[in-house]
């Protein structure tokens, strides 16, 4: 005797409900991933534009004459807006540059790309003593390895305890 068994209507409906919930969750995750990918692409491109504006300003060698600059450009086949602010710092000869960028069609209050940089002439050339940013004439200026301190200053301390001589010095008596 052969017994045939079939799915009941309830079993089929339960199986369809499980598949429907699974597909809904899958589509939701796929949608969120696509949105996140789009947002991260926009944020990355906006960050690059902001960094490019700071770099372009630094290459000129002079801080911008305007404290606030604005502009538009086409980048990655999209229209973008950018702003560059120049702010004074407590250190004479150094300015702070703040750049931000967004899609031209983006929200007016949303700037996904932001970068900060500094530029100025208060930096020392390699091998030259560092500038005194504090304005105090008695402040000591750090010196690097192999450099002699400015007149009237003592050399920087070494990691060697007093009385010990490093190996290989003429005063080393160990043989």
pTM of the predicted structure, to 2 decimals:
0.62
- pLDDT by position in tens, the chain (length 175): 566 777 899 999 999 999 999 999 999 999 999 999 999 999 999 999 999 999 999 998 888 888 899 999 999 999 999 999 999 988 888 899 999 999 998 888 899 999 999 998 876 677 788 777 676 655 555 555 555 555 555 555 555 555 555 555 555 454 4
Confirm if 75 and 46 have CB atoms less than 8 A apart: no
Distance in angstroms (rounded) separating the CA atoms of residues 111 and 39: 12
What CATH number is given for 14-120 in this structure? 3.30.1300.30
**Helix, strand, coil percentages in the chain from 3-state DSSP, rounded to 5:** 30, 20, 50
Residues 6+ apart with CB under 8 A from 142: 130, 156
């Amino acid at each position: 005797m052969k017994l045939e068994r079939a799915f009941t209507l309830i079993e089929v409906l339960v199986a369809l409900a499980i598949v429907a919930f699974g597909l809904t969750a899958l589509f939701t995750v796929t949608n969120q991933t696509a949105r996140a990918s789009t947002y991260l692409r926009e944020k990355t491109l906006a960050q690059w534009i902001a960094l490019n504006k700071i770099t372009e300003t630094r290459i000129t060698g002079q801080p911008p004459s305007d404290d606030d600059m604005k502009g538009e450009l086409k980048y990655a086949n999209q229209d973008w807006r950018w702003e560059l602010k120049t702010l004074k710092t407590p250190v004479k000869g150094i300015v702070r540059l703040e750049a931000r960028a967004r899609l031209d069609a983006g929200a007016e209050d949303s700037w996904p790309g932001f970068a900060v940089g500094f530029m100025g002439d208060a930096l020392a050339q390699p091998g030259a003593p560092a500038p005194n940013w504090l304005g105090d004439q008695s402040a000591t200026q750090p010196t690097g390895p192999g450099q002699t301190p400015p007149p009237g200053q003592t050399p920087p301390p070494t990691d060697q305890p007093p009385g010990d001589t490093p190996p290989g010095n003429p005063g080393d008596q160990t043989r």
